[in-house]
Amino acid sequence: MKAVQIQSFGQPLEVAQCVELPDPGTPSAGQAVVALEASPINPSDVLTLSAQYGLLPKLPAVPGNEGVGRVLAVADDVKNVRAGDIVLLPAGAGTWREKLAVPAARLFPMPPDADRQQLAMLTVNPPTALLLLRDVVELQPGEWVIQNAANSGVGSYLITLARLRGLKTVNVVRRDSLIEPLKKQGADVVVVDGPDLSKQIAAATGKAAIRLAIDAIGGEATARLAHSVAPGGTVVNYGALSGEPCRVTQQDLIFRNVTLRGFWLAHWFNQATPADQMAVFGQLIKLVAEGKLHAPVEATYPLSRIKDALAHAMKAGRDGKVLLTPG
């Protein structure tokens, strides 16, 4: 079967190869064999290939942190899924392959009529957006939240989830061409990042006391968010799109009592109870199935074109996700 594999870490376009690996065959006890239908290329995948992510696989490795597939076969002792089911693949299962054998207990059955491409993107970005809104600051309906990289996967989901909770969003982007598309999606305010960001946000929100800002970029972008929240506000960083450490001035940290903290979904997976995980994914699956939660897809590529897919996913100015399919 075809799979993407890396033998070493390095420049993603150099280390990622499409190879032939053994077919998983008949499932062992407690297992299901699943055929991949779609798997996205996330920033965390690119960082993993270049050894810059917080959790790295043992080499050689098949990358891919999420995806959706169709169950081909299950062991006799498996009762929660059956052949033909559409399932959400386990987080971090190495999904960039045609088939994989996984513990059946870790599979989430999906609504059969839901959009497969949208389901493929359900494990990483949607729960990140939901938890950033839910667990960092206890926000009340009517409050504002700021986010940068608002056209990203997490940013797109956050706009929708905030609106469903009655929250209002200030969405920071890097170019004017993104303003109208995000407003059509439901963004309340969209502004272009720059030295005057805090003044733009104050003018657009009527000087609202904003208690939460969500940062995917790092560097000076973090500092601009910290200067835009109210005294005592919180900036939470979940990404490093700039490749730079987060920066916050002493003026904001000390005199304005702004808090900077981090968020990593892997910690939540390790610490959340099974009941909480089921509740979060149950909510998200329902929203996707109803067509209320959606992220743009810019292109799909077969596994055999992994280098083209990675080049596209790493391209600046992209307006949608890049997905991998079996072929």
Task: State yes or no: is 53 an active-site residue.
Answer: yes
d(C-alpha 147, C-alpha 213), whole Å: 6
**Exposure of 248 by Cβ count < 10 A (0-12 exposed, 13-18 middle, 19+ buried)?**
buried
d(C-alpha 92, C-alpha 77), whole Å: 24
- For residue 54 the two structure tokens come to 């917080």
d(C-alpha 245, C-alpha 285), whole Å: 34
- Positions annotated as catalytic residues are 53
